[in-house]
Amino acid sequence: MAYRYVFGPVRSGRLGLSLGLDLTGDTVCTMDCVYCEVGRTTCLTTQRKPYVPAQDILDELAHWKEQAHQEPDYVTLGGKGEPTLNSDMGAVIQGIRRIFPHTPVAVLTNSTLLHDPQVRRELALADAVLPSLDSLVPAELRRVNRPHPEVDLSALAQGLLDFRKEFTGRLLLEVLLVAGYNDSDANLALLRQFIAGLGADRVDVVTMTRPGTLASASPVCDETLARWRATLAPLATGRPGDTTTPRPGGARQFSTDAASAPGQGHPPRPADADSAAQERVTASIERRPQTAAQLAQALDLPPEAVRRALEALATQGRLRTTASGGDAYHALRQG
Ligand code: SF4
């Protein structure tokens, strides 16, 4: 089965082995960030609706589990767009709990819809919420995140504060810096004041590690990153050493031997194995550019299988490879 909404798992610094669910099915977002790894937003909107019905996503997830893949450390709502735009988000989270009763659920969000009490109620069903907030300077937010005109920065900030009061789970804030876009001292001062009153369990300051949508968008230098981290990270009020690492025993590996997997009677023939590897590589790089080594680790595939899958995609003209920081990042060619 080719999965449309289930992808990964990918190895995430904050969530361990994270199985992704795409709730929008396309690049549907309230923002069009210059650093976005999945490409330009094709539908810039603030309208909530069931872009992908909950049942379609849950049917795929149940099928994925039946294939006896290992249980991930997290099931994470994210994908190609902003997951809170899907008005079925609450039903998706409840459905995940039935399919993976022992696996925590995380949601990645750009925070733009947190002003909506219904969105906050649905998000509060998750175990961990990972909001981003890149700038509190309105002009910077417009440049780095290029939001829908209806996105209001003060409502966004207030929505985050309100959500923190209502949400008893783990709140892991991320600030992504782009050189010359949102790394001003004014932004640092505003974020410091805001985060000091937020009560996040963890604050991560990161910069671009993969190509974004604008050639002029580039990472900040190590010195800037270190300075911002030293200022903002200690403002987290969570448990010391909270790294959102995998649960003990959780980081098991996929079995590449289908014969050992319950529910599957035959080991795959090499051609089937190649085609299965290509499907998984395709689904993974469609959401996030990755190096061959990252793909091999996240998908638990032999490096040779990843290389063959990438070669096949290149031959089909479906691969876009970009150099960044001395590494080659592979993405699916759009259009
Ligand atoms: S980075 Fe996230 S918030 Fe920004 S455009 Fe991409 S999906 Fe939307």
- The pLDDT tens digits for 50-99 are 999 999 999 999 999 998 667 899 999 998 999 999 999 999 999 999 99
Helices (H), the chain: 54-66, 89-99, 117-123, 138-145, 153-166, 185-196, 222-232, 270-287, 292-299, 303-315
Answer yes or no: is pLDDT of 101 > 50.
yes
Give the range among 2-6, 54-58, 150-154 with minimum mean pLDDT: 2-6
- Residue 150 main-chain phi, psi, to 5 deg: -80, -10
Q: Which one is predicted more confidently, 314 or 264?
A: 314
Residue 242 alpha carbon to ligand 1 centre in Å: 25
Is a pLDDT exceeding 90 seen at residue 236? yes
Assigned fold of 264-332 = Arc Repressor Mutant, subunit A (1.10.10)
Quote the pTM value.
Answer: 0.76
Nearest atom, ligand 1, residue 27 CA: 7
Whether ligand 1 lies within 6 angstroms of the CB of 141 is answered as no
Query: Tokens 């200022």 sit at which residue?
Result: 231
pLDDT at 150 over 50: yes
Please tell me the CATH superfamily of domain 6-235, with its number.
Aldolase class I (3.20.20.70)
Instruction: Please give the pLDDT value at position 181.
Output: 98
Query: Would you say the CB of residue 134 lies under 6 angstroms from ligand 1?
Result: no
Residue extents of the structural domains in the chain: 6-235, 264-332
Give the model's confidence band at 246: pLDDT under 50 very low, under 70 low, under 90 confident, else very high.
very low
Chain-centroid distance, C-alpha 245: 16
